[in-house]
Amino acid sequence: MRNKWLIRCFLPVCLCLPAVIFAACGKRGTEPEEEMAAKPEDVWKITEDIWSDQDFTYFKEHPVNEGHAVELSMWVNEDWKESYSYLLEEYKKYRPNVTVKLTCFPWKSYWIKLRLAMENENGPDMFHMHNAYGRDFKENMLPLPESVFGEDCMEQVFPQPPGIRMEGSLYYVGLGKATGGIFYNKEMWKAAGFTESDIPKTWEQLAQTAEKLTRYDANGNIIVDGFNFNGEMLSLLFAMQAQKGLTVFSEEGYGSNLNDAANISNLDYINQLCGAEGVCRPNEAPAHELLGKGGAAMIYGWSWVANYLDQNHPGTEYGFFRTPCWDEAVPPAYDYNNYESSFAVNRASSPEKQDAALDLLLFYLCSDAVLVRTARQAQMVPAKEILLTEHGEELGEVIQIQSSYIDRTAFKGVVPEAVYACLSPLMTRELWDPGNNREEMLQNMDEEISRILKSYQFEPQMKHYVHYGEFHTEED
């Protein structure tokens, strides 16, 4: 999540792909004659039904690399190993001539290794991307052909998030969005006499629910938190702020809005949970670990927590519900969201390898089975909307519940990792203790965040949020 590389102008996409040229989307047999006459005979004819054709007619009728063997390398972070392995397994059924060597690394070392490999000009042909690193690797990525992955073709089925294009070009595809919510232990919930009808809609109701779920030892010490947010304090504060109509950053993207009366009241609420209410231990383990080990009954967390629980605590039966808000009226936004991305193609790879890599990306986006597996792994609401209606049960409860309010969550923009690195260590009890000068602390944070935003040329995206007019702007 570090952005620094300078940008370059790229040659037209057709020059980047000399071996194969993608034709624009269109219905079979309806292409304009002038376009047909101008195209070479080996055009890959992409028709609008390719995105829904689960018989994969296109991949049966149009071999890649003329059927000759081609070997590709792909790097992904290990969190995505399962879905990428499944993708390659499915792709092999239609492209037996393509061999892909998949290499996985842990999240933190992945980006270091990838940067070093690119600098040494021995990077992989394909590599998984995250939007926070887009500008870091922009010069290493091949722009995707507009005729296939552009607004008139792919984006008719895969609407892309604002700000994903860099200088007008798309380098990877936004696969879906994820947001925050409340995870809870169903066994503890039931033991406290709660049913689904007791799910809290407001923060006041959540505090009351948490009080009944909290467990103490004989000395009055908490042994089970009724509610916990450890490790997610910053995201929680951002969500509470958005619900009150206050944006995290200024409209031009160079200012931070933490020092605000609305945020002071948010901190008062958090202090109440950890103090007077006594339902939270802020100095314990991260919230998701507490929930998995039975040390918390409810936690705030983003949807990735579901995968953590499934993989590390399969015996924990959990539920999920929408982030509460300050009253039962619909807020400007319940929370923020972010999107997950596809892999990118190395612009330094040979034309034959680039063609095969783009063919794999096309298959990725066409295969509903692969996209469902990917959405489940990332616990995201898929961009391909038909998956929600036709595969809702396969996607699971967390994704279905997110989908009920994802349109009422906002995308801030690609926030530099340095912002989180600066703020996260400061989200401690000292910040919400009313005995401290919280205004001064927040003001100092604002000044440092503003400095970071300016140095990274942050591009805010809030203005694209459909309900942005409900937020308080600088003109208000």
110 & 258 share domain: no
Place of tokens 């499915």: 90
- Residue 457 one-letter amino acid: Q
370 & 450 share domain: no
Residue 399 domain-assigned?
no
Q: How many residues does the chain have?
A: 476
235 & 252 share domain: yes
Domain containing 264 — which CATH number?
Answer: 3.40.190.10
Give the 3-state secondary structure of residue 176: strand
How many helices and strands in the chain, by DSSP H and E? 20, 12
pLDDT value, residue 18? 38
pLDDT value, residue 139? 96
List alpha helices for 232-296, DSSP H.
233-243, 261-274, 287-293
Q: Token digits for 199?
A: 């799910």
Q: Is the dihedral of CA 277, 281, 283, 289 positive or negative?
A: negative
Burial of 125 (0-12, 13-18, 19+ CB in 10 A): buried
187 & 270 share domain: yes
Question: Could you give the angle at which helices 261-274 and 233-243 cross, rounded to 10 degrees?
Answer: 130
Query: DSSP letter at 25?
Result: P
pLDDT value, residue 26? 54
Return the closest-CA partner of residue 17 out of 347, 363, 344.
347
280 & 369 share domain: no
Residue 398 domain-assigned?
no
pTM score of the predicted model: 0.87
Round to whole Å and give the CA distance between 390 and 379. Answer: 17
Round to whole Å and give the CA distance between 412 and 465. Answer: 9
Classify the phi-psi angles of 413: left when phi > 0, otherwise alpha if psi is within -120 to 50, otherwise beta: left
Burial of 83 (0-12, 13-18, 19+ CB in 10 A): buried
**What is the largest distance, in Å, between two alpha-carbon atoms of the chain?**
84
Residue 396 domain-assigned?
no
pLDDT value, residue 430? 86
Q: How many domains, the chain? A: 2
Give the 3-state secondary structure of residue 203: helix
Domain encompassing residue 65: 13-128+135-171+342-391
Q: Is the dihedral of CA 377, 381, 387, 389 positive or negative?
A: positive
Burial of 248 (0-12, 13-18, 19+ CB in 10 A): buried
458 & 318 share domain: yes
Return the closest-CA partner of residue 361 out of 46, 1, 35, 14.
46
161 & 217 share domain: no
Q: Token digits for 307?
A: 């995968």
201 & 259 share domain: yes
Residue 404 domain-assigned?
no
Residue 1 domain-assigned?
no
437 & 378 share domain: no
Classify the phi-psi angles of 264: left when phi > 0, otherwise alpha if psi is within -120 to 50, otherwise beta: alpha
62 & 191 share domain: no
Q: What is the full DSSP assignment across 298-365? A: EEEEETHHHHHHHHH-TT--EEEEEPPBSSSSPPS-SEEEEEEE-EEEBTTS-HHHHHHHHHHHHHHH
Round to whole Å and give the CA distance between 24 and 31. Answer: 9
Return the closest-CA partner of residue 143 out of 175, 108, 167.
167
Return the closest-CA partner of residue 161 out of 176, 171, 148.
176
- Residue 419 one-letter amino acid: V
Return the closest-CA partner of residue 358 out of 114, 89, 72, 9.
72
Residue 74 domain-assigned?
yes
237 & 113 share domain: no
CA distances from 433 to 242, 260, 272, 422 (A): 22, 16, 9, 20
- Give, for all 476 residues of the chain, the pLDDT tens digit: 333 222 323 333 333 433 444 555 654 443 333 333 322 334 557 888 999 999 999 999 999 999 999 999 999 999 899 999 999 999 999 999 999 999 999 998 999 999 999 999 999 999 999 998 998 999 999 999 999 999 999 999 999 999 999 999 999 999 999 999 999 999 999 999 999 999 999 999 999 999 999 999 999 999 999 999 999 999 999 999 999 999 999 888 889 999 999 999 999 999 999 887 789 999 899 999 999 999 999 999 999 999 999 999 999 999 999 999 999 999 999 999 999 999 999 999 999 999 999 999 999 999 999 999 999 999 999 999 999 999 999 999 999 999 999 999 999 998 888 888 888 888 888 888 888 899 999 999 999 999 999 888 788 999 999 999 999 865 45
Radius of gyration (Cα) for the chain, nearest Å?
A: 24
Give the 3-state secondary structure of residue 171: coil
How many CB atoms neighbour CB 191 within 10 A? 12
353 & 253 share domain: no
Residue 402 domain-assigned?
no
Residue 167 domain-assigned?
yes
How many CB atoms neighbour CB 211 within 10 A? 14
Q: Strand 126-128 to strand 318-322: parallel, antiparallel, or no bridges (unpaired)?
A: unpaired
Q: Token digits for 331?
A: 């807020």
